[in-house]
Amino acid sequence: MTDPAVPPFVLVTGPEGVLVERAVAAVLVGAKEADVEVIRIDPSTYEAGALQMHASPSLFGGAKTIVVRDLHESADELQLDLLSLLAAPDPDLGLVVAHGGGMKGKKVLDTMKKAGARVIECPAVKTDRDKTDFVMKEFAAARRKITNDGVRALIEAVGKDVRELAAACSQLVSDTEGTIDDAVVDTYHGGKVEATGFRVADATVAGQSGEALRLLRHAIATGVDPVPIVAVIASQLRQLIKVGAAGRGSSAQLAKSLGMAPWQVDKARRAVGHWSADGLAVAVQAVAAADFEVKGGGRDPVYAVERAILTIARARAAR
């Protein structure tokens, strides 16, 4: 029999690669401690019948755990072999299957669930609220504190990619002491493209056209593309509109309903009072025009962003 520390069947579902890797690794800790042989199957190079060969008892006996990653990308041969294996389970064989989503391989998933598999869900970390929760959990797991401003700064700097966000959290935990705030984050990540874009956007939405233009020119001089800068400005304007239309309620409540982080709601609330509905409409039109031009519709992308910044700043001042 397999060791009780190693569940017979484990199903890891969801598209978030970092969480999937961690979930599989956590399951295999029990296998390693119990001296269970771990066999990894690569779906991209799988040949029919290989699963049964790996699952067959060893001359020396002992339990095995087979790990199958990316079932959603696997060939039919692997899925059929998995179904055969599940139809006649071996008490000395454990099976860990990771599935990233979609209908392909669904029959294997359903069969494993019916067989009582332990299911670990790894949902996508998409929204800023999701990323905020992710960062908070990373630091809580490391028994370290990070301020709300520190979380905001970290997401603004490296928040597009969850793997990079996880690495940034790990670096801050290992390289610093005490509570981590936005100043600490800025020391490590303030020069990144995303952080530069957010600074330009913050100054633009605040109506500080001179500062926004200065930051923009510095960004362009250091090789930052205008496209992500326009995207961040557009994102911040959309947040103003969403929060302005949402009415009253706690930051946490609005954040949940709007798919934002609470700190983003607070930030938008502080800013939206300086804007009129007409001003926001002008600003949205300006950033839409800039987006078209920086993506190939205009002759001078940098000038397009500069013009949008000036138009947005005037629209705010015209309240």
What tokens appear for 79 in the block? 């899925």
Q: Which long-range contacts (CB under 8 A, 24 or more apart) does 294-301 make?
A: 294/226, 294/227, 294/230, 295/227, 301/226, 301/227
Could you read off the pLDDT tens digit of each residue along the chain, which spans 319 residues? Answer: 444 455 689 999 999 999 999 999 999 988 877 788 899 999 988 999 999 999 887 766 678 899 999 999 998 999 999 999 999 888 888 999 999 999 999 999 999 999 999 999 999 998 888 999 999 999 999 999 999 989 988 988 887 789 989 999 999 999 999 999 989 998 888 766 566 788 899 999 999 999 999 989 988 887 888 998 999 999 999 999 999 998 888 888 898 888 888 888 998 999 999 999 999 999 999 999 999 999 988 789 999 999 999 999 999 977 6
DSSP string of 164-224? HHHHHHHHHHHH--S-B-HHHHHHHHTTSHHHHHHHHHHHHHTT-HHHHHHHHHHHHHTT-
Contact 98, 72 (CB under 8 A): no
- Architecture of the CATH domain 128-189: Orthogonal Bundle (1.10)
- Which fold, 9-121? Rossmann fold (3.40.50)
Q: Which CATH number fits domain 193-317: 2.40.128.280, 1.20.272.10, 1.10.10.60, 1.10.10.10?
A: 1.20.272.10
Phi, psi of 138 (to 5 degrees): -60, -45
With H, G, I as helix, E, B as strand and everything else as coil, classify residue 299: coil
Q: What is the pLDDT of residue 256?
A: 85
- Return the CA Rg of the chain: 25
Q: What is the pLDDT of residue 16?
A: 94
Contact 125, 97 (CB under 8 A): no
Contact 48, 19 (CB under 8 A): no
Q: What is the pLDDT of residue 1?
A: 46
283 vs 303: CA distance, rounded Å: 16
What tokens appear for 8 in the block? 């017979």
Stretch(es) of the chain classified as CATH 1.20.272.10: 193-317
Q: What is the pLDDT of residue 8?
A: 86
Burial 114-124 (b: 16+ CB within 10 A, else e): eeebeebebee
Stretch(es) of the chain classified as CATH 3.40.50.300: 9-121
The arrangement of strands across the sheet holding 37-41 comes to 37-41, 64-68, 93-99, 9-13, 118-121
